[in-house]
Every structure is written in structure tokens, then in C-alpha cells.
Amino acid sequence: MNQTQLFEAALGITAPWYVQGVDFDAARRELTIAVDFVAGTRFSYPSVGGEHPVHDTQIKRLRHLNFFQHECFLEVRVPRVRLPDGSVRLVQPDWIGKLDGFTLLFEAFVLALCREMTFAAVARLVNLSWYRVKAICDRYVDLAVAATDLSGLSTVAIDETSCRRGHDYVSLVADMDERRVVFVTPGKDAGVVERFASHLEEHNATPAQIRSVSIDMSPAFIKGVDEHLPDARVTFDKFHVIAHASKALDGVRREQQKTDPALKGMRWPLLKDADKLNLAQTDRSRGADQPVHHQPNRPCLDVPRATARDSRSQADPRRLQDVAPVVQRRHAFQGRAHEGRRTHDPSSFRRHRRVGPDAPDQWLH
């Protein structure tokens, strides 16, 4: 096996293509491989039957996977064929990438890196600009989105995340059954759900087929689901339910530590999981032996010893971790607009609908 045959085998090039020559530039640390096709070859063209003669050729320089530590390029003589209607079209070999200037294997390598690294890190590693790396990813994302079939989608989760510094957000919709992202859009308002409903119609699906939606307690998402996914059952995710309960409990502690100094510094012992407390925190969270006295007319919890330590055993927010936070759409959330005025009101959760597996029209006590 000679040198050109060795490179043909390594590159996976088959007839009518062959390696015409190899040039290595040690100073520039580049390996250039010239690829040509056999003279007289006729080529097929997509959507046009038969094989067609070559009209002329173009030289394309394609970035390929590195040869050891040296960059590798393929210089390919690509044919243009004349079709029966007289038009001339370029024929691309199947190992040329989707973006001009790269082989298919190199693009696959960049995509694999981008799954684990930032665009900037990948650009430094493969010696490309940030924009070229992003262009490769954008191209394949667009192709994947265009080929997406959402006809079997029925259970989704919607959440927002910050995409850069400041208040720039993107919202993601994930398929809960397949555990994959199916839609991404800027913003975190009710328009997110509206755009998702339009996306469904563009990919062999309808909004009516969505039966379950998991969201946080965002009024915008609740409104969007109510208007654009009318048949969907809403599930509040457990994280936000527990966060609201923890906030209410801490509000009670702050209020009652004014009359019970022993509650000072008890925030985390009350909110942490019991199995994560150290010995000192466990003793403090169980309560002290001395009685607790309250000033007249001061609000307190209606429990035998009105301290946040005792209320923990009565209304521990962590008990909600064992509750399936499912609510009906029409009972999702009431009085949300006034939530800011009752941040430290221990009875604020009475205005929420029950989030347990029982009937959704029970009040949370």
C-alpha cells in the first residue's frame, strides 16, 4: 500500500474519488490532501433521474480532523454537472459538511465538543473563530428543528433561565417523557406559551394534545397555559412550592424572635433537612425547656407553644416533598397579585389551593 492508498483508506474515500497528492508544510504545521475524481465520471443529482456529464469543476478547500497535532485540509476538485434542462448544478460528495469549508467529520467533532464546552473554548481548541463554531451549531440545530415530529408529545415542562448578564431570559419547553428540549424562545412572559402552541402546529401536533404542563408559579406562565393550552392539567413544580412554604415559615420565625431571643440564628436549623443537621442544630431545633411568654396583642401561631420551633412540627415545609404538587388549571393560584403585601403573613398559604393528591378544591391548612 503506497502513501495515497493509505490516506484514501484513512479518509474513507472510495471510487470515483481518489487521493491525488499529499503536501506537508512543517513551518505552517499543515497537511494538505488533494482529492480528485476519475476523468469521464458521470454523477447523479438529487431529484433529477439518471447520471449527468461534468460541465466544469471548482476547487474547494475543506478543514478536516487534525493529523496528529497538525491541521489537515482537503483540496477537493468538485464537479458541476449539466442537467437535461440545460442548467448547471454543483455536485457535493457525501463527506462534505453542511457548512461551506468543512468536512462532515470535522463538523461532527465540533458538535461533540460543543455539547461539553463553551463556543469560545471550542474555538480555541480547533483554531476557528467563535462565529464559525456557532455557525456550525446553528446549522445543525436548524436542521434538527425542521425535522422534529411532535405528534406524540403530551407532557411538557416549561421554565426560564438567564442567558447572559442582566435580565435577558430564555424559556425552554421539555418533553417530560423523552427528557429532551423541544422548544426554546426568548422571554418569560405569556407569549412563550403562545409561541410554543404555534410551534406545535408547525411540527405535526396541536395544542389540544398537551395533557399535562409542569411550571413554576409564574402568573405569566399560568395565563399562557390557560389561554393557549386549554386542555392541559397544570403541575406546580415541587421546588417552588417548598420555597414558598419555607419563606412563610421564616417570616414567622423573624416575627416571633422579637419575643423569644432563642430563635435568633435558627433560620437554617429550621429549614434544613433533619438528616443534614449537626448535633447542636438538632438540639436547638427541638426546642428549649423554658416556657415562652408573648406580649399581649402580638400575633402568634395557634399552637401550644407559639414558637417557630414548635410550628416546624405542625407545618414543616419539607413535608411537602412527599406531596404530589398537582392542581387543576382553574384552581391554580388565587390572590397572587397581593402576595407582596403578605410576605410575612403566616396565613398566606391559606389563599393557595391545596397541592396534595386529594381534591384540588381543598384549602391548604
Give the residue extent of every domain in the chain. 3-142, 155-236, 238-351
d(CA 309, CA 249): 10
Q: How far apart are CA 175 and CA 255, in angstroms?
A: 43
Q: What is the pLDDT of residue 317?
A: 54
DSSP label of 351:
G
The reply to whether the predicted model has a pTM over 0.75 is no
Distance CA(190)–CA(262), nearest Å, equals: 45
pLDDT at 104: 94
In the predicted model, residues of the chain with pLDDT beneath 70 are: 1, 281, 283-365
C-alpha 216: how far from chain center: 16
- Residue 212 vs residues 85, 231, 307: alpha-carbon distances, Å: 53, 8, 40
Burial 97-135 (b: 16+ CB within 10 A, else e): bebebbbeebbebbbebbeeeebeebbeebebeeebbbe
Q: Are strands 212-215 and 233-236 parallel, antiparallel or unpaired?
A: parallel
pLDDT recorded at residue 339: 40
Q: How far apart are CA 255 and CA 260, in angstroms?
A: 9
Instruction: Looking at the structure, give the CATH architecture of the domain made up of residues 155-236.
Output: 2-Layer Sandwich (3.30)
